[in-house]
Structure 1
């Protein structure tokens, strides 16, 4: 039993092998719907070990085989035991995975996976389909950036351990860039620097080409005075201080997270572009101040991009993480009348937007990071239910979100209606991996077979 599958990617074999050898490759290929946590990434395809955390405290250790290491043609790994947490998996689930790379021509490579295991192919197929799609899209994104002139760069990042930051840092690392993680604790690794948001060190951004600023307290929660202060205080002043330092240091690009909350919580049927006026509400107030806090960098000659992010789709966090178990149990449904507009974006498309913000000199100012096809809440509900093969017959009454989030939180989060369009990205000729919601959810949830 097991599986053998292959696909052709539009990259030279040496580049494909190098992608796999870099830090972040395992994270980029790990299916997000599986209950697996990457605890340690292999430091070598020849002799390294990757350690995965499984439910119940179990460990999966993938040990690379030096005898199978033949760059750029192949490498292999097999499940191994090292202590009681990994012993049950090693004994009960034999696994040998050979990765092969065959040269098709100077610019194309056939990537072949051969796995020997008692796990049925029907279980493995969604995982390997996902891996091949991820590899194809990631390599294409890096190729476009390289053709546009992006050379290996040093990119400082706040919020690198969050949902977006972890995906983006892995993506950038596999592309050959150095990611310097700006952390609040004492730096423990070579690619970490300690960052005090209130008073960043003068040399924090030394030798940095670009800054990607993602840090900020979660907006999810009841809109109490304390919650509102945390949301604002974690964004506005830290951004200003970092922007001032970026200008003083002379970095080329400053990319800051922002949000479509700028447009307010209910704009009716308006199609909102980057030139639309700000809306009403607490989040609109915060986002405006947050974006204005980037001005010291722009005034200092740094190219500044403000990524106004929509509703991120990922099983690892955000709304999809909350809704998936409810819908899987058949307890999902629309909110209220379901006519609210939901401007969404898949996690990997959001990674591509940040990547483009780093390398595309034509982008500056606000950029709407949303898919080209927003949907109403009722349509989102139907699509998610269809992907999970579950009914969605239990609409959430309008007072429901208010019980959890408070009246203001419900109005600005769960019941918000924003029909946002990615006008700046369209003008730049940006290509989305998936523009269709159902296709995106099937990819992220491993349900591509329908």
Structure 2
């Protein structure tokens, strides 16, 4: 058996720190994306007998190879503590005790782990895992401090000891939606998720936009409605795929809008924040474009225009509307970065196409925080570009990624390869799109980026390969 210990401090009282860990979404927010992917948090969080299911990364893979790991919670040795122990996973033993103690200026967090990864006699493997745990807990500390700063900047109910808002989220089980829900929940707001399947947890409520099923009482409960639903666009643009991409966005948004409009004025949510995309501007932009820029041409531009037009239908009912035009979200949990990083690790990475086209990107944390920002501040209205302030080309992106992974970027991906994967229209509007988009409105409304540069983003999303 090997023992690992880590100590850190946060500028919150012990009770508040414990309460943060005990809220839904805490594990999602605390976990470095390169270290583990949350499959299902325990519910109630950290309650004795509850089980958390994750996919933990294999050391040295930058989060690109993961294995299932589940743990069961039990009571800790003191008032502000809890324990999780291995239920199933690639270890022979794991017991993690979390303890929170008041100190001058905040709380000391002690993490004590007893583990064994291999049969006796393979101590070198356990020593390697110890190094990996050191990197993981350093990243956990940074993530929690980052979130505390964000909560303080938004006067979060958990910290201000006030009642939180009621937040209803459609698409909350997706990659972005999980982070948005977790940010709201750990801040002290009350979150419910609209789900298409039979609800499993008390915070889930059923809807089926394909059949027009949505209970108006669920919308009347909400102070804010957030819509992140929609079929993935990372596919070949066949007629069937286009129809699904269109209907999954427009029809579901129309159902939400019409239901909110049908509520008595006093029962209506105050704000509707709906997803959109930088595809609104089309696949070609010669100059940097902000939210005042004209709509472009192409299938995705048409989808985004209709999507935003449909969402804006709530404005006649006195509901503030925000459309988040999201860029390419960079995270090791999915999307472009997860697809390209393995090629670079294998020494086969490089720019897409000519490499001259601009990449409108944003980190997963920043896109999630932009939704929270849009909900909480009344002066955020209309379209908002959710992109990082650092404009880069595909060639610059490839060089930065190769540098972080300590690999070459010698092998470009020709345009015809992306056409084979995505079809001609998909390649043009996705992989080879030239989108010089700037976050004018986010910056004007005081948003502070967590990861303003690619280097910041790669450090967060890929770690150092520990």
Is TM more than 0.5 here?
yes
3-state SS of 1:273 partner = coil
Note the 1:136-151 alignment, pairs <5 A: 136-146=145-155, 151=163
Residues 375 and 448 of structure 1: CA distance in aligned 2, closer, same or farther (over 3 Å): farther
Partner of 2:119: none
Partner of 1:202: 216
Deviation at 1:48, TM superposition (A): 3.9
Note if 1:367 corresponds to 2:381.
no
Deviation at 1:36, TM superposition (A): 5.0
- Equivalent residue in structure 1 for 2:227, among 203, 206, 213: 213
Partner of 2:253: 239
Distance 2:374 2:55 in 1: 35
Give yes or no for contact 1:340–1:415 (8 Å, CA) kept in 2.
Answer: yes
Residues 398 and 438 of structure 1: CA distance in aligned 2, closer, same or farther (over 3 Å): same
Partner of 1:350: 367
- Calculate the TM-score normalised by the size of structure 1: 0.90
Note if 1:223 corresponds to 2:229.
no
Note if 1:182 corresponds to 2:210.
no
Residues 432 and 368 of structure 1: CA distance in aligned 2, closer, same or farther (over 3 Å): same
Give yes or no for contact 1:195–1:204 (8 Å, CA) kept in 2.
Answer: no
- Equivalent residue in structure 2 for 1:123, among 97, 121, 132: 132
Distance 1:267 1:280 in 2: 11
Deviation at 1:2, TM superposition (A): 4.5
Q: CA deviation digits over 1:319-376, x for unaligned, max 9?
A: 1111122122111110122111111111011111001111011100001101111211
3-state SS of 2:221 partner = coil
3-state SS of 1:254 partner = strand
Give yes or no for contact 2:75–2:83 (8 Å, CA) kept in 1.
Answer: no
Distance 2:74 2:192 in 1: 30
3-state SS of 2:288 partner = coil
Deviation at 1:392, TM superposition (A): 1.4
Q: CA deviation digits over 1:184-226, x for unaligned, max 9?
A: 2233332122112152333231211110000011111111111
- Equivalent residue in structure 2 for 1:278, among 277, 295, 318: 295
Unaligned runs of 5+ in 1: none
Residues 181 and 431 of structure 1: CA distance in aligned 2, closer, same or farther (over 3 Å): same
3-state SS of 2:415 partner = coil
Note the 1:333-412 alignment, pairs <5 A: 333-412=350-429
Distance 2:72 2:200 in 1: 25
Give yes or no for contact 2:25–2:185 (8 Å, CA) kept in 1.
Answer: yes
Residues 246 and 334 of structure 1: CA distance in aligned 2, closer, same or farther (over 3 Å): same
Partner of 1:153: 165
3-state SS of 1:390 partner = coil
Deviation at 1:57, TM superposition (A): 11
Give yes or no for contact 1:2–1:117 (8 Å, CA) kept in 2.
Answer: yes
Tell which deviates more after alignment, 47-56 or 151-160. 47-56
Partner of 2:120: none
Note if 1:332 corresponds to 2:349.
yes
Give yes or no for contact 1:181–1:191 (8 Å, CA) kept in 2.
Answer: yes
- Calculate the TM-score normalised by the size of structure 2: 0.87
Distance 2:313 2:201 in 1: 30
Deviation at 1:40, TM superposition (A): 4.6
Partner of 2:78: 69
Unaligned runs of 5+ in 2: 57-64, 117-125
Note if 1:135 corresponds to 2:154.
no
Distance 2:47 2:278 in 1: 45
RMSD, aligned CA: 2.4
Deviation at 1:65, TM superposition (A): 4.3
Stretches (4+) displaced over 6 A: 55-58, 147-150
Residues 298 and 414 of structure 1: CA distance in aligned 2, closer, same or farther (over 3 Å): same
Give yes or no for contact 1:104–1:110 (8 Å, CA) kept in 2.
Answer: no
Deviation at 1:164, TM superposition (A): 0.5
3-state SS of 2:216 partner = coil
Residues 11 and 183 of structure 1: CA distance in aligned 2, closer, same or farther (over 3 Å): same
Distance 1:193 1:147 in 2: 25
Tell which deviates more after alignment, 46-55 or 382-391. 46-55
Give yes or no for contact 1:51–1:59 (8 Å, CA) kept in 2.
Answer: no
Report how many residues are paired: 437
Deviation at 1:46, TM superposition (A): 5.8
